[in-house]
Homo-oligomer: A and B are copies of this chain.
Amino acid sequence: MAWDTARTRRLLLEAAVEEFAEHGPQGARVDRVAARAGVNKERIYQYFGGKRQLFTAVLEAELARVAGAVPLTAEQMADLGEYAGRVFDYHCAHPHFLRLLAWEGLEDGRTGVAAEDERAAHYAGKVAAFAAARENGLLTAEVEPAHLVYAVYALATWWFTAPQVVRMIMAGAGDDSPAARRAGLVRMVRRLTASAEDRSGDGSAHA
């Protein structure tokens, strides 16, 4: 049978995403990654170099996936609430990513940030789109575009980043389903980003 090194590599990377998302760069066990992949752990050193590099590879792979998955089109720009909703949906469906990001944040300073240039460019694009929308009157001028970008991501993702706190906050509330969370998120982002003209309406002008 022909060798399929690409498959072995892919199996290892998939296993590593799970392992690192679950346990973080410290808690992840190289042996477990190999076992999950059904491959000898020595392959990790051949293909990736070591645990550290494997983590970076995992982060870069997931970063690439997420960047393409939730694009910010001109249409999205007209209703940022719905855009935030889609970001929320993505992370509901792929809970690994924000865990990896959280671990990266906690390691921040100790090690460099993966793929920093591409990511910086990615976010610069978002900020530029927000700034353009503000020029066109689609977006409030009361708040800095960069701060609005911050708010959209903060509101869309904090559910996943501090799940234990969210659970306690929502404990009393009646409906705490993902759908209810999403609806609240969409409404909040609309309120936050709506321009003055839109705001004169009923607050759900975009619906």
Name A's B-contacting residues (CB within 8 A): 23-24, 26-27, 99, 101-106, 108, 113, 116, 119-120, 122-124, 126-128, 140, 142-151, 153-155, 157-159, 161-166, 168-173, 181, 184-185, 187-188, 191-192, 199, 203
Query: Would A108 and B149 count as touching, CB distance under 8 A?
Result: no
Query: Would B151 and A155 count as touching, CB distance under 8 A?
Result: yes
- Copy number in the complex reads 2
Q: Which residues of chain B are within 8 angstroms of A116 by Cβ–Cβ distance? A: 168
State how many angstroms separate the Cβ of A102 from the closest Cβ of chain B: 6
State how many angstroms separate the Cβ of A141 from the closest Cβ of chain B: 10
Instruction: Output the nearest chain B residue to A162 by Cβ-Cβ distance.
Output: B105
| A120-B165 CB under 8 A given contacts A24-B106, A26-B24, A106-B99 | no
State how many angstroms separate the Cβ of A114 from the closest Cβ of chain B: 9
State how many angstroms separate the Cβ of A93 from the closest Cβ of chain B: 18
State how many angstroms separate the Cβ of A134 from the closest Cβ of chain B: 13
Query: Would B191 and A119 count as touching, CB distance under 8 A?
Result: no
Give bound CA distance, A65 to B93, whole Å.
Answer: 36
Q: Closest 5 interchain pairs by CB?
A: A154-B158, A147-B184, A146-B173, A26-B26, A123-B168
Give bound CA distance, A151 to B166, whole Å.
Answer: 10
Q: Which residues of chain B are within 8 angstroms of A172 by Cβ–Cβ distance? A: 124, 127-128, 146
Instruction: Output the nearest chain B residue to A191 by Cβ-Cβ distance.
Output: B192
Query: Would B124 and A171 count as touching, CB distance under 8 A?
Result: yes
Q: Which residues of chain B are within 8 angstroms of A120 by Cβ–Cβ distance? A: 168, 171
Query: Would A143 and B26 count as touching, CB distance under 8 A?
Result: no
Instruction: Output the nearest chain B residue to A128 by Cβ-Cβ distance.
Output: B172
Query: Would B142 and A187 count as touching, CB distance under 8 A?
Result: yes
| A164-B104 CB under 8 A given contacts A142-B187, A169-B149 | yes
